[in-house]
Chain A
Amino acid sequence: MSTILQLIFRSLETCSIYALAALGIIIIYRTSLITHFAQGSMAMFNTFVVTWFFTSFSMPLWASVLAGIISAIFTGFLVDFLVIRHTKKVSPVGKQIITLGLIIVFLGLAPMFFGVATLQLPRFIPSGEVVVGGAAISYNAILNISLGLVIMLVLFYVLHKTKLGLAIRATASNEQTARLMGVPTQSVTMMAWAVAGVLGVLSGVMIAPATSVSVWLMNPVQISALFACVLGGFQTFYGPVLGAYILGIARNFLTYYVSSVWGEQIMYILLLIFLLFRPNGIVGKKYSKKV
């Protein structure tokens, strides 16, 4: 029992990281109709910014994270302003390729600004844990889990209860009609890119203490987040969050009970098989294509 509880505790922390990254991807997908492959590399870049402020200027961690958030907003604005805004006429495949180009740009920029050495980022709360039912959970994990939940709740509140959320949802469902109705879709899209950037850097800061800050920092997160979106379906905002939690818990259980080397691979194969039966994900809806 305590092992299962321990596994769940450990999963929940990674789950909230995946969920934040997945939310970033889904917000971009819904407002710009782009599968945002560069979410991870943009997050990696901004996590480097956080680490740079933390190590080079020995600023406190919270201030560095704040600086990282500001830089995330800025990079989000910049990417939308310089690139995405001008791709209205580009085919969907072309848009995907553009985000792949963005990956290259950020993968190249990060070592140029911050060097090739891998850096370390500490936890928010360095030590201490509580024991619940024989399973230990660190204060930092509790902070990450609750922070993730709070951000998600705020985001869902904004999306569903405020005028701004209405504008985002209107843009998501049909950009052209939304513009005709007076929704400033350009600003909405720009803000979506900034929000995605912030979600990315937060997930980056949360995952960084577990590994080291390198250009490959966000690769596992990015892949899990994309699969969370696939599992949850690209049509709703809460589907990917659900997908992220299922994915994170399933991964830890499979690696613990089945195989520590092949557990992750088995999970992805199971996921692909699941998609054969429910191609649009758990809560996905099917839209019929028009000729």
Chain B
Amino acid sequence: MDSNKQPTAMKKTTNFLLSLYHNQYLRFVLFGLLLACLPQLAKMKLIKTGVVTTMAQILIYAIAALGLNLLLGYSGLISLGTAGFMGLGAYVAAYFYGDLQLSFWIALLAAVAIPTLIGTLVGLTSLRISGFYLAIATLCVSEILLKTFQQATDLTGGTSGKNISYPVIFDIAFKRDTMYLLLVVALVLVMMLTWNLVNGQFGRAMHAMRGSEVAAQAMGVSLLKYRLLVFAIATAYAGLSGALYVFFVKGTYPTTWVLNLSLNILAAVVIGGVRSIYGTVLGVFVVWGVSDLFLNNIPFFRQNPQISFIVNGVLIILVVMFYPNGLGKLPSDLKAGLSRLLGGRKKPGIPNKEER
């Protein structure tokens, strides 16, 4: 009796553990916990405090990059306005929190809502025409916003920038380390939200559009509606990312929100791999982390800071030309290559949920 029950109990626990292992939400939480350890490591002097700042920056940009990834990966649209919308989010948050003395949550909400509203209006006019008009329209919006940041001195402080203090949330005065934890939480939540979006009805519609626009239309998927929706989501992410930036850096200057940033975020998405959530975060790490954490220790790269920027550009071109799925595809490709190398028969691959 006992000997019979033991395996089933074992099986149950292993099944349970396996289901935990395959539970995407848990993976995201684990990923977040790993990231959350960094300030502790810094306190124990295992890593430099500069690493935490760089990582915080990566977390912030990763949120905007996830939005662009949805846009580029699922609808094939390019936005060159990421930096502009991030900047708008940052300035709105700084204005609502700093000047109007409103609560953190209202400032955050406004910082997401206002860019989304403007993004929707831009999308509404440009997306009706043809896909690539969005890139041109957002490029223009980004320039207009940049000009506004510089010229509307009453609201934005002009070229001398705008400064605020760390936020107070639920009567807790946030500091640098707690702010970092907030960034981790925000990124994990955004990753979960993105995963839900991609695997829900919205994701299926987007997949259908990607396969064939005409066929998707025949199935009742409204191209304009979904394109608009995905662009709105991308701008909302950008606004959120900008707001978090301003609360972490405690200030914002117009020179941050230039085309370079939009291009770098695009580089992160392309290098990391379109339609891959972890790949995007990895891409952001490659674009910002590698140069800040590793290359800057080498004198040659320290003297020529442009090199890492150029490398990003070259990487984009190379990835698009030779490895269109980006680094996100690397693990599964390596696995396949390895099993082929070991002479094993190629097993019929079970597509995992993320790729399906």
**A interface residue numbers (CB < 8 A to B):** 35, 37, 83, 86-87, 90-94, 96-98, 100-105, 107-109, 111-112, 216, 219-220, 223, 226-227, 230, 261, 264-265, 268, 272-273, 275-276, 279, 289, 291
Complex Cα gap A91–B75 (Å):
13
Given contacts A98-B316, A98-B320, A108-B313, contact A275 B140 (CB under 8 A): no
Q: Give the total of B residues in contact with A, Cβ under 8 Å.
A: 45
- B139 on the A face (CB < 8 A): yes
**B interface residue numbers (CB < 8 A to A):** 72, 76, 78, 80, 122, 125-126, 128-133, 135-137, 139-140, 143-144, 151, 212, 214, 258-260, 263-264, 266-267, 270, 304, 306-307, 309-310, 312-317, 320-321, 324
For A100, give its contact among B143, B212, B263, B321 (CB under 8 Å).
Answer: B263
Contact B320 A90 (CB under 8 A): yes
Complex Cα gap A104–B72 (Å):
18
Contact A226 B76 (CB under 8 A): no
Contact A101 B260 (CB under 8 A): no
- Please give me the 8 A-B residue pairs with the lowest Cβ-Cβ distance, nearest first: A104-B313, A101-B316, A108-B310, A105-B313, A272-B125, A108-B309, A101-B317, A279-B129
Most chain B CB neighbours (cut-off 10 Å) among A108, A216, A275: A108
Complex Cα gap A96–B76 (Å):
11
Complex Cα gap A231–B96 (Å):
38
Chain A residue contacts of B139, Cβ below 8 A = 37, 223, 226
Chain A residue contacts of B317, Cβ below 8 A = 83, 98, 101-102, 105
Tell me the smallest distance from the CB of A229 to a CB of chain B, in Å. 8
Tell me the smallest distance from the CB of A222 to a CB of chain B, in Å. 8
Most chain B CB neighbours (cut-off 10 Å) among A93, A96, A104, A223: A104
Contact B135 A87 (CB under 8 A): no
Complex Cα gap A105–B264 (Å):
11
Given contacts A35-B135, A230-B133, A276-B128, contact A100 B214 (CB under 8 A): no
Chain B residue contacts of A265, Cβ below 8 A = 144
Tell me the smallest distance from the CB of A103 to a CB of chain B, in Å. 6
Chain B residue contacts of A96, Cβ below 8 A = 78, 132, 135
For B313, give its contact among A101, A219, A220, A268 (CB under 8 Å).
Answer: A101
Complex Cα gap A225–B176 (Å):
44
Chain B residue contacts of A273, Cβ below 8 A = 125
Chain A residue contacts of B126, Cβ below 8 A = 272, 275
Given contacts A96-B132, A101-B314, contact A223 B143 (CB under 8 A): yes
Contact A227 B78 (CB under 8 A): no
Excluding A101-B267, A104-B263, 18 further A-B contacts by CB distance (< 8 Å) are A35-B135, A83-B317, A86-B321, A93-B76, A97-B266, A97-B320, A98-B320, A100-B80, A101-B320, A105-B313, A107-B260, A107-B309, A230-B136, A272-B126, A273-B125, A275-B133, A276-B128, A279-B129
Chain A residue contacts of B76, Cβ below 8 A = 91, 93
Tell me the smallest distance from the CB of B287 to a CB of chain A, in Å. 10
Tell me the smallest distance from the CB of A175 to a CB of chain B, in Å. 18
Chain A residue with Cβ nearest B258: A216
Contact A83 B321 (CB under 8 A): yes
Give 28 pairs: A residue, B residue, CB < 8 Å, sorted on A: A35-B136, A87-B321, A90-B321, A92-B132, A97-B78, A97-B320, A98-B316, A100-B80, A100-B263, A101-B315, A102-B313, A102-B317, A104-B260, A104-B264, A104-B267, A104-B313, A105-B313, A108-B310, A108-B313, A109-B306, A112-B304, A219-B259, A223-B136, A230-B133, A268-B144, A272-B122, A273-B125, A275-B125
Complex Cα gap A220–B144 (Å):
10
Tell me the smallest distance from the CB of A92 to a CB of chain B, in Å. 8
